[in-house]
Amino acid sequence: MRIRPVFAWYDFWFGLYWNKECKRLYAMVPMIGFYMQFGRGAPIEERLRVTQKWLDRFQSEAAELTIENLKLKERLAGSIADSIGGKVEQTGS
């Protein structure tokens, strides 16, 4: 078992957290704490699989947001064209 200090300016929580993939127990107060490493943690193949799963999810969400953004731009351009009574040409983004 190893014990290591942790400083994370963005973490503002009290308590304990068990990371089962890495086999670590984190004990934190706002921004400072420590973790205890138990064993070797998950094999690299498992960590990569989890990372790839999250990457795939975020890429698909980003694609959906991009499509929604383009639809919103088209509607906005149409609204502007209707309000000024003319045609608005869209430029490539």
End-to-end CA distance of the chain: 53
Cα–Cα distance between 66 and 47 in angstroms, integer? Answer: 29
State the pLDDT at residue 46. 64
Average of per-residue pLDDT values in the chain: 79
In order of 20, 66, 77, 92, the CA distances from 88 in angstroms are 55, 21, 6, 13
The pLDDT of residue 40 is 73
Give the tens place of pLDDT for each residue, 39-71.
776 566 666 776 777 788 888 888 888 888 888
DSSP class of residue 18 equals: E
Contact status, residue 72 vs residue 90, Cβ threshold 8 Å: no
- 15 band by pLDDT with thresholds 50, 70 and 90: very high
Higher pLDDT among residues 86 and 36, named by residue: 36
